């Protein structure tokens, strides 16, 4: 009975979608697929992923009487995996910030604390070479979703052996560009008069399939095809200044992605670079990324993304980030971003937004990440910029 109670408590405390961050890969020297169920990272962790952060904490759980709880929780996951071929995980994120939208961005808002994510993950292996996985973000039951964002996903992974390609199909997220754990990044947003809005939101999901081939430890290639129901929820203005769907509902999107992960000097220098092309109808998207890291020391991340919608709208976005590991439980980071959008309407409009962020990931306890940030948000057509601090509390497993 005690184990059952502990399992239930653990499930709702820690069972979240642990989204990935490229800097973790650069600091550890591990590819995303080494720790996650999906090749491009993010979502449910496998056993190696669980182990990777279990001893990373600023406070020793034994010193505050949590040693047995942490050990019991870990044991339950191991038993489920070994005896029942069953994996579970969680991401729960609580956020504190001042939040506004539309023309209200010019006002000063009260600080809010809200649940941004509560995503349980499940995966079952009926066979060694097949897994069935699903996730649902319970925090999105309020209906506060971006266009094209979905609260759930589910799919099947098939891989006869590690040396063979992996086939993923279902209602899944395409492997586009880099995989980040921060939906406020400008890299996938459209700049506009009142700020930026995602054209590729967090949890963007479509019905489709993709096949990935991972050659040894340093190369992967992915091709895929997806429906467009979710993407069609995005809007763009035509030359009459009228909102129209970004694409039709019955378009087939094609995906191609290449990624390289060479390591040098006995694993001390880690590189990761590549790109993806995602196209459907008269809309296309290119993403290029380059990441570098010195194991357990420092990581540099850079990504460029560009989109084109039939010459009605183009975007060119860029980010660069530097991460420094002070100790294993404290990682400092600084990031600069730019989003540029050109709209060709009855007249040509140009919008540019900049964002500068400094912050830290502080692993206070095993599976607990405290993330303070200070953000400066600057729109080129507005005389003054805005700034605020934010705080995120992230439970994960």
Domain at 2-396, CATH class? mainly beta
Q: Which tens digit of pLDDT belongs to each residue from 183-196?
A: 788 999 999 888 88
**How confident is the model at residue 57, as a pLDDT?**
83
**How confident is the model at residue 60, as a pLDDT?**
83
Q: Which residues of 8-18 are buried (b: 16+ CB within 10 A; e: fewer)?
A: eebbebbbbbb
The number of residues in the chain equals 397
Residue 224, number of CB atoms within 10 A of its CB:
24
In this structure, the dihedral spanned by the alpha carbons of residues 352, 255, 246 and 336, taken in order and rounded to 10 degrees, is: -20
- Left (φ > 0), alpha (ψ -120 to 50) or beta: where does 388 sit? beta
Give CA–CA dist 299/271, Å, rounded.
Answer: 10
Nearest CA among 112, 103, 135 for reference residue 392: 112
Give CA–CA dist 287/220, Å, rounded.
Answer: 16
- Is the Cβ–Cβ distance between 228 and 206 less than 8 Å? yes
**How confident is the model at residue 78, as a pLDDT?**
67
Nearest CA among 87, 233, 71 for reference residue 149: 233
- Is the Cβ–Cβ distance between 331 and 349 less than 8 Å? no
- Is the Cβ–Cβ distance between 32 and 217 less than 8 Å? no
**How confident is the model at residue 148, as a pLDDT?**
85
**How confident is the model at residue 45, as a pLDDT?**
66
**How confident is the model at residue 84, as a pLDDT?**
59
Give CA–CA dist 199/197, Å, rounded.
Answer: 7
Nearest CA among 56, 59, 55, 45 for reference residue 15: 45
Q: What string of pLDDT tens digits covers the 397 residues of the chain?
A: 333 333 333 333 333 333 457 777 788 877 766 666 666 666 676 666 666 666 778 888 778 877 777 777 677 666 666 665 888 888 888 888 775 544 444 555 677 777 888 899 888 889 989 999 999 998 877 666 788 889 899 999 999 988 899 999 999 999 998 877 777 889 999 998 888 889 998 889 999 999 999 877 789 999 999 999 999 999 998 888 889 999 999 999 999 999 999 999 988 999 999 999 999 999 999 999 999 999 999 999 999 999 999 889 999 999 999 999 999 999 999 999 999 999 988 889 999 999 999 999 999 988 889 999 999 999 988 888 888 899 999 888 7
Domain ranges for the chain: 2-396
**How confident is the model at residue 39, as a pLDDT?**
63
Q: What are phi and psi of 35, to 5 degrees?
A: -115, -10
Q: Which tens digit of pLDDT belongs to each residue from 199-226?
A: 998 889 999 999 999 877 789 999 999 9
CA 127 remoteness from chain centre: 28
**How confident is the model at residue 6, as a pLDDT?**
33
- Left (φ > 0), alpha (ψ -120 to 50) or beta: where does 383 sit? alpha
């Amino acid at each position: 009975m005690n184990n059952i109670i502990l399992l239930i408590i653990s499930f709702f405390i820690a069972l979240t979608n642990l989204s990935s961050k490229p800097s973790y890969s650069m600091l550890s020297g591990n590819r995303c697929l080494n720790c996650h169920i999906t090749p491009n990272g993010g979502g449910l962790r496998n056993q190696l992923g669980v182990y990777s952060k279990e001893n990373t904490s600023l406070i020793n759980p034994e010193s505050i009487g949590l040693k047995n709880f942490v050990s019991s929780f870990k044991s339950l996951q191991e038993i489920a995996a070994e005896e029942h071929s069953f994996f579970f995980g969680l991401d729960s994120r609580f956020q504190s910030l001042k939040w506004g939208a539309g023309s209200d961005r010019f006002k000063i808002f009260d600080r809010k604390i809200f649940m941004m994510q509560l995503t349980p993950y499940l995966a079952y292996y009926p066979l060694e070479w097949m897994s069935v996985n699903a996730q649902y973000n319970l925090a999105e039951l309020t209906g506060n979703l971006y266009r094209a964002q979905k609260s759930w996903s589910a799919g099947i992974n098939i891989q006869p052996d590690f040396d063979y390609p992996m086939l993923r199909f279902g209602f899944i997220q395409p492997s586009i560009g880099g995989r980040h754990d921060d939906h406020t990044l400008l890299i996938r947003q459209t700049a506009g008069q009142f700020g930026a809005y995602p054209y590729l939101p967090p949890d963007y999901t479509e019905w489709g399939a993709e096949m990935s081939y991972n050659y040894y430890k340093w190369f992967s290639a992915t091709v895929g095809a997806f429906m467009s129901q979710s993407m069609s929820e995005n809007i763009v203005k035509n030359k009459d200044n009228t909102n129209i769907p970004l694409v039709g509902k019955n378009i087939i999107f094609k995906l191609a992605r290449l990624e390289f992960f060479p390591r040098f000097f006995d694993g001390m220098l880690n590189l990761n670079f590549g790109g993806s092309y995602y196209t459907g109808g008269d809309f296309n998207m290119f993403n290029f990324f380059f990441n570098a890291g010195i194991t357990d020391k420092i990581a540099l991340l850079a990504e460029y993304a560009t989109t084109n919608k039939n010459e009605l709208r183009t975007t060119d976005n860029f980010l660069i980030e530097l991460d420094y590991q002070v100790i294993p439980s404290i990682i400092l980071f600084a990031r600069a971003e730019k989003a540029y959008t050109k709209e060709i309407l009855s007249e040509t409009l140009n919008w540019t937004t900049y964002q500068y962020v400094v912050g830290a990931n502080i692993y206070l306890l095993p599976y607990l990440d405290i993330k303070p940030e200070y953000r400066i948000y600057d729109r080129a057509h507005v005389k003054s910029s805005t700034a605020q601090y934010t705080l995120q509390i992230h439970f994960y497993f």
